[in-house]
């Protein structure tokens, strides 16, 4: 695991070593165990290393035999031993026992198709000096990040935006259109970032730069191999056979990802996904959990039960969170911001784990691959909601439900009913993602100034519509999962895990997102994933083979915090400061009166505006920190 950065000059321009070292310095948290920065053939490459495999000998960069191909990368290649044996049989020689050294040799053998041979999580930068080519690659699922900026004189790239900013080669102009997406979804779909001149590779994308001609091309090198039905193998709807097959594949992925020369453990929330992963790690594995003093937001009792059943070495920290004191630290790692509240508990559990281990396995990805979200239930329920006569539905029921005061609890019937009605009113073509929209088109027109709206042409659902059209399946559940796998997962969930674990120099691996497992899982009939009010059906059946059934078949909680309550209490002074009317008015992006109305309604308990208010706070801090 590392942080990478680089500058590739066009037409013989030589990268500055001083700029390169400044970029590297911004990534120290991603790699405290070593550093490299050098300019060769006009191209500067830099990296910070977190030593995981071949601790003593696995230093980057990696070269081919003639040293005209140079590679730095962030992540892990889990099948490197098999690849190395195959390459040695073809005459290639190696100088270390680390995973990334296979990459330049694969490039020699297969060219741009080299990436198809890799099983892992990775962001790769490869410089071929002979061909004068720079290749940037992001892994199939988007587990590891990679940003770039194409300037007049060069291409600048890095694991984080702050590294690109440190180069001094790019402008800090705000992309207002991207801001509209952030407010709607709490994340920004690729290739956009909040900086107009900085882009990000999407999952499974490769950027190839010809440094002589300045030609650049981005292409997608992988997609899910499904037919239009989403069940390309035509397997019978046999739950037991599918459960056996998926369980075996998950076990294979977990064992593959336990390769490490440093201490390794697991996050354990007590939910289905993390419990299943932990159950496959073997006896006496280490697991880490956190709980909150608010019982409606804490699952620690379930984590303890699972750990006891599995015989894990289990560390639990039950805390009264102080997000105010942690806010500055968290926001430093949000240079590509998301509005997801759960960055805070993810950072906390990462801190707990880092005291004992350098690598953890996480259960992320189970919901997006196996159908775990309640939004799928809401989508099916919306069919019945639409059958209610409009005069009754829109004239009586919807206003009555929306008029209920939200409760302080995390979920509950009132909160769920209000959210369902809000989502059901949005365009049906958004599918289940309707319940992930936090700022509708109508609300956007109320919140933003006319000047901002004039330079915000992209509708909030544009990326969802594009993914729906690209999806290689017609089944509604399969199509929804495909959209999640290519949007919410890499652009929100995996951003959270990467930034918050790397903030404490911890490597987080996600075996449920092994691409071979994902390919197989997307062939599972949708009826074995979501049916009526049941979600994640097959994965729960598998998990119930390994942990107590009542730990599996219970209400899904999610990994969140009582932010809506904190905004009325300990976070209120910070909210008032960041969202002060004078500040909002001076920037010319948001209407001060609209922001004040959101605050008043939230503080009075008449509505839960926590998602919009928190995302506004995150953006305001981002603007002060990075765009000044």
How do residues 315-355 score in pLDDT, each as one tens digit?
998 877 677 789 999 999 999 999 999 999 999 999 999 99
Tokens 């709490």 belong to: 186
152: preceding bond cis by omega (within 30 degrees) = no
pLDDT at residue 82 is higher than 70: yes
Yes or no: say if 165 and 336 are a contact pair by the CB < 8 Å rule.
no
- State yes or no: is 2 an active-site residue: yes
Q: What is the pLDDT of residue 406?
A: 77
pLDDT at residue 364 is higher than 90: yes
What's phi and psi for 318, nearest 5 deg? -100, 120
Q: Give every CB contact of residue 85 below 8 A, 6+ residues apart in sequence.
A: none
pLDDT at residue 499 is higher than 90: yes
Percentage helix, strand, coil for the chain under 3-state DSSP, each rounded to 5:
45, 15, 40
Q: What is the pLDDT of residue 234?
A: 45
SS3 at position 419: helix
Q: What is the pLDDT of residue 410?
A: 60
Q: What is the mean pLDDT of the chain?
A: 92
Q: Which two tokens stand for residue 195?
A: 């900086």
How do residues 17-30 score in pLDDT, each as one tens digit?
999 999 999 999 99
Q: What is the pLDDT of residue 595?
A: 98
pLDDT at residue 509 is higher than 90: yes
- When pLDDT is averaged across residues 119-146 and rounded to a whole number, the result is 98
- When pLDDT is averaged across residues 124-142 and rounded to a whole number, the result is 97
How many helical (H) and strand (E) elements, i.e. helices and strands, does the chain have?
A: 29, 17
Q: What is the pLDDT of residue 148?
A: 98
How do residues 251-278 score in pLDDT, each as one tens digit?
999 999 999 889 999 999 999 999 999 9
Could you tell me the end-to-end alpha-carbon distance of the chain, in angstroms, rounded to an integer? 31
How do residues 390-445 score in pLDDT, each as one tens digit?
888 888 888 888 888 877 666 668 878 888 888 888 888 899 999 999 999 999 99
pLDDT at residue 185 is higher than 90: yes
CA atoms within a 13 Å half-sphere pointing along the CA-CB vector of 578: 23
Pick from 22-26, 54-58, 552-556, 570-574: least confident? 54-58
How do residues 513-564 score in pLDDT, each as one tens digit?
999 999 999 999 999 999 989 999 999 999 999 999 999 998 766 556 778 8
Q: What is the pLDDT of residue 236?
A: 54
Share of the chain above pLDDT 70, in %: 95
Q: What is the pLDDT of residue 390?
A: 87
Alpha-carbon distance 277 to 510, whole Å? 9
Alpha-carbon distance 198 to 175, whole Å? 10
Alpha-carbon distance 505 to 496, whole Å? 14
């Amino acid at each position: 695991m590392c942080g990478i950065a680089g500058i590739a000059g066009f037409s013989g321009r030589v990268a500055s070593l001083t700029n390169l070292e400044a970029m590297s310095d911004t990534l120290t948290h991603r790699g405290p165990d070593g550093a490299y920065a050098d300019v060769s053939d006009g191209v500067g490459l830099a990296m910070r290393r977190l030593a995981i495999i071949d601790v003593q000998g696995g230093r980057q960069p990696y070269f081919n035999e003639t040293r005209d191909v140079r590679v730095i990368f962030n992540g892990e290649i889990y099948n490197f031993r098999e690849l190395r044996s195959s390459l040695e049989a073809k005459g290639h020689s190696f100088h270390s026992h680390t995973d990334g050294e296979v990459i330049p040799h694969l490039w020699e053998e297969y060219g741009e198709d080299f990436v198809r041979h890799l099983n892992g999580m990775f962001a790769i930068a490869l410089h071929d000096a002979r061909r004068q080519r720079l290749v940037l690659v992001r892994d199939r699922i988007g587990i590891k990040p990679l940003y770039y900026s194409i300037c007049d004189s060069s291409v600048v790239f890095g694991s984080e935006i702050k590294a690109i900013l440190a180069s001094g080669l790019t402008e800090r102009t705000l992309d207002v259109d991207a801001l509209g997406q952030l407010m709607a979804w709490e994340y920004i779909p690729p290739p956009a970032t909040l900086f107009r001149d900085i882009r990000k590779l999407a999952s499974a994308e490769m950027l190839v730069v010809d440094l002589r001609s300045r030609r650049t091309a981005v292409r997608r090198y992988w997609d899910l191999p499904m037919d239009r039905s989403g069940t390309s193998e035509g397997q019978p709807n046999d739950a037991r056979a599918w459960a056996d097959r998926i369980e075996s594949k998950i076990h294979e992925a977990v064992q593959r990802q336990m390769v490490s020369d440093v201490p390794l453990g697991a996050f354990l929330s007590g939910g289905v996904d993390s419990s299943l992963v932990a159950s496959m790690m073997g006896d006496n594995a280490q697991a880490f959990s956190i709980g909150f003093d608010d019982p409606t937001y804490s699952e620690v009792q379930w984590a303890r039960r699972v750990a006891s059943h599995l015989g894990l070495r289990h560390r639990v920290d039950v805390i009264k969170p102080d997000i105010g004191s942690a806010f500055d630290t968290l926001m430093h790692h949000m240079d590509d911001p998301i509005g997801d509240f759960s960055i805070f508990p993810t950072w906390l559990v990462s801190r707990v784990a880092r005291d004992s281990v350098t690598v953890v396995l996480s259960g992320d990805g189970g919901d997006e691959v196996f159908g775990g979200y309640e939004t799928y239930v809401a989508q099916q329920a919306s069919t019945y909601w639409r059958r209610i006569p409009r005069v009754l539905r829109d004239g009586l029921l919807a206003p009555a439900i929306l008029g209920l005061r939200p409760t302080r609890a995390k979920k509950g019937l009132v909160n769920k009913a209000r959210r369902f009605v809000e989502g059901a009113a949005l365009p049906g073509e958004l599918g289940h993602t309707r319940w992930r929209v936090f700022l509708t088109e109508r609300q956007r027109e109320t919140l933003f100034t006319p000047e901002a709206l004039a330079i915000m042409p992209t509708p909030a659902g544009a990326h969802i519509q594009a993914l729906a059209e690209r999806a290689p399946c017609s089944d509604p559940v399969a199509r929804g999962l495909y959209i999640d796998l290519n949007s919410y997962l890499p652009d929100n969930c995996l951003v959270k895990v990467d930034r918050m674990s790397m903030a404490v120099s911890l490597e987080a691996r996600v075996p449920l997102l092994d691409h071979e497992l994902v390919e197989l899982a997307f062939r599972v009939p949708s009826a074995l994933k979501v049916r009526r009010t049941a979600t994640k059906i097959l994965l729960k059946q598998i998990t119930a083979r390994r942990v107590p059934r009542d730990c599996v078949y219970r209400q899904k909680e999610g990994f969140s915090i009582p932010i809506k309550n904190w905004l009325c209490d300990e976070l209120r002074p910070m909210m008032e400061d960041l969202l002060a009317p004078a500040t909002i008015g001076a920037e010319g992006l948001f209407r001060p009166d609209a922001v004040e109305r959101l605050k008043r309604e939230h503080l009075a308990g008449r509505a839960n505006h926590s998602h919009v208010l928190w995302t506004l706070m995150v953006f305001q801090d981002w603007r002060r920190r990075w765009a000044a």
